[in-house]
Amino acid sequence: MKKTSLSLLIAFLGVNLSVNAQTAVTIDVNTANAKTVISKDIYGHFSEHLGRCIYDGFWVDPALNVPKKDRIRLDIVDALKKIKVPNLRWPGGCFADEYHWRDGIGPREQRPKMVNTNWGGVVEDNSFGTHEFLELCALLECEPYIAGNVGSGTVEEMAKWVEYLNFDGISPMANLRKENGREKPWKVAFWGVGNESWGCGGNMTPEYYADLYKRYATYARDYPGAPLKKIVSGANSWDLNWTEVLMKNIPIRDMWGVSLHYYTLPTGNWSKKGSATVFDEKEYFQTMKNGLAMDSLVRKHSEVMDKYDPQKKVALVVDEWGVWTDVEPGTNPGFLYQQNSMRDALIAGATLNIFNNHAERVKVASLAQTVNVLQALILTEKEKMLLTPTYHVFDLYKVHMDAKLIPLNFKSPDYVVDGDKIPAVNASASIDSNGVVHITLVNLDPKKKISINTALNGLKWSGVTGRIVTSPKFNDYNSFDNPNKIVAAQFKGAKKNGNQLRAELPPLSVVELTLK
């Protein structure tokens, strides 16, 4: 399809079910402005040695009766391949800055055990290490993203890890890799230089960390055919000064990206974050409001970065995000196991729309975490496995990967609770290499339908298909007794009427529309 000028007129009609009032909202879009590519790496994930993410998640007991390669659980691999996971961040998280990579190579029976002091005080047997992680990434057909140890490690330790993974020649580390069964290097590109260096990664000042980063980055070498994408350990949520100091003190040429971490707490209170499934509309509303703050957060950190990097050479890497609730009753508080409801799916859809709309700066993101931890895509219970509502949202949104962003400009109807309000609708759109337009829309309102009337001037299209993730209640979730309560389904609420697209978004819904 020729990328001619396209004017999209999208009218959102907020329907008041009691008095049948309507509010029209107009969006003007022109595909001539679709120039920024939405990096597929925005749809990345994060897997830490934490709780049952690695052990009893990806890496299972040999006796467990599930398909596996070595001890890698293949039904999980197949599920993640379906949503085209682009990258996987490992080994942490806070665990990264107490992890010494040489403990996790060589014969497994000879690997030393350690205590995971950050997460539950359990024994880490190091049976899942560098080779196992990179085998997992090969099975997933995704890019590995490794977080190096700055907090308790050394410059030499990280330098040798890079050499072990990336050098194709004769050297002590390359020879050691070959002795351990891997002839050719993996050529890992994404490298995080520390993690949360303002907190569990060393409780550093930004000035101290910036100097330390430059030392580590100097000795993390670009070997032939294996240039590194070095990612600076960036700010905790609203700490703009941390970003300012890093951008000011570290030369642009010495960093590929700067990270940002932000978690959506339902209550906004770290000491009592709120239940994953037991909450009322007021807490639901507050969760949505806290989640939508990601847009302002990305804007403010991007503004700081723009002062020093107006050409946007440095990526903003949101490599920890998601909903963080209290753990499920009766589970180890250090394992961070939580259920995943329709509320989580809506946060996922809204956040991915935000990242898409900031694609000029946000190039990588990592949902925390992939299996059995925080806002997981997958939950397991021995042989059983279920896909969470969040998983199904990622399945819908994969159409945006490496497509060009179509900027949207509109004012949403309000969703109001106790006099406070947030936008009821958020959206993003893209056009792929075949000229197919994809629009993803989220209706956060738990009671009102949102009607869409879209005029597609200048676009030749023959029809629309759609998919939806929705449920009647915001605290509905998939359980092992009812694993398919919330799934992605065909959306029948959209149709072509002349050259107009008409659709109706149910309450509590994430919808993807494809125009061909």
Where in the sequence numbering do the catalytic residues fall? 196, 320
**DSSP secondary structure, 74-110, as one string:** HHHHHHHHHTT--EEEES-SGGGGG--GGGGSS-GGG
Identify whether the C-beta of residue 364 lies closer than 8 Å to the C-beta of residue 313. no
Distance of alpha carbon 380 from alpha carbon 397, whole angstroms: 24
Residue that is written with structure tokens 């005029």 in the block? 455
Residues 6+ apart with CB under 8 A from 205: none
Residue 484 burial (CB count, 10 A): 8
Tokens for 76?
């999980």
Tokens for 356?
């898409």
Identify whether the C-beta of residue 166 lies closer than 8 Å to the C-beta of residue 158. no
> Which residue type sits at 163?
E
Q: Which of 381, 374, 379 is nearest to 348 (CA)?
A: 374
Distance of alpha carbon 436 from alpha carbon 427, whole angstroms: 17
Tokens for 484?
């398919």
β-bridge partners, 364: 317
**Span between the terminal Cα atoms of the chain, in Å:** 9
> Which residue type sits at 17?
L
Whether residue 423 is preceded by a cis peptide bond, meaning omega within 30 degrees of 0, is no
Helical ranges in 220-280 per DSSP H = 240-249
Identify whether the C-beta of residue 54 lies closer than 8 Å to the C-beta of residue 27. no
User: From residue 79, how far is each of 136, 160, 258, 319, 434 by CA, in Å?
Assistant: 13, 34, 30, 21, 26
**Ramachandran area for residue 408 (φ above 0: left; ψ -120 to 50: alpha; else beta):** beta
> Which residue type sits at 456?
L
> Which residue type sits at 142?
C
Q: At what angle do helices 342-357 and 389-397 cross, to 10 degrees?
A: 30
Distance of alpha carbon 74 from alpha carbon 92, whole angstroms: 22
Cα Rg of the chain, angstroms: 23
User: From residue 301, how far is each of 37, 245, 476 by CA, in Å?
Assistant: 20, 12, 34
